[in-house]
Amino acid sequence: MISLLTSIINNLHSMGSGIPYPVPWSRLVENIYLNIRYFYAMIRMPHYTATKQYLTSKGLADPVNWFNLHSADVPWFTQALPGASYPLEVIPPNVTFTGPITLSLSPASEQSPELTQWLSRGPTVLINLGSLFLWSEQAASAMAHAVADTLAARSDLQILWKFQKAPVAVDDDGTTTTTYDDDVFAEPLRPFLETGRVRMEKWLDVEPTSLLETGHIAASVHHGGSGCYHEALG
């Protein structure tokens, strides 16, 4: 009974939690709590029900199963590539490496001619930490200094930085306040903003894949998510 219980606990190990594997008894309650929060969050995703209904309509009997991610008889396609991902000693026979799978609906020149023209001025470093990332003053200041140092060392580069301040409070009328209403953090960037070598945009009107396909992006600075990683790799 104890061995069976241990096996169940380890099969439900909360990945990314910092809890060692196998799960020690001293962190059993913590692991159970994290799993409950995880599955609760998954089930409450806005598109969960609609996605499950759609997949069911296409003939998938059990389309979303959080407890049985490995099925030996089901083909598994991954955008990973040997040599570009973590080396694995065992690759199941039902797994196929495809390389990056990205969607490009239209060229950047059609989505934003003005931005595309700016990109063509020279090799560009794209800083895009995803649609959910908001910059605290400390992080923004650190990145501003890094950008300024980079541009000072490389006169041929320019930088496109997707930047939005992090709110710390929401007022009664729904407006947000930030920890830094001024732009002191950007002081190191003043000369480069004035000459147009730095662009700070709250939102990018061009799909990241289309930006990369212009050939003007020399480096992609991102948050390490699968999407942006494989877009850059592609």
Residue 146 exposure: Cα atoms within 13 Å on the Cβ side: 10
- Nearest residue to 129 (alpha-carbon basis) of 222, 208, 204, 65: 222
- Exposure string over 113-128, b if 16+ CB within 10 A, otherwise e: eebbebbeeeebbbbb
- Report the amino acid identity of residue 137: E
Instruction: Give mean pLDDT, residues 94-107.
Output: 90
d(CA 116, CA 232): 18
Residue 205 has what pLDDT?
87
**Tens-digit pLDDT profile for residues 161-196:** 999 998 776 666 666 666 777 899 999 999 999 999
The pLDDT, as a whole number, for residue 67 is 65
What's the pTM? Answer: 0.71
pLDDT at 10: 62
Q: 108-233 sits in which CATH class? A: alpha beta
Check residue 10 and give left, alpha or beta (phi > 0: left; psi -120 to 50: alpha): alpha
Q: Convert the pLDDT of each residue in 133-163 to its tens digit.
A: 999 999 999 999 999 999 999 999 999 999 9
Question: What percent of the chain has pLDDT above 90?
Answer: 50
- Cα gap 123→146, rounded to integer Å: 17
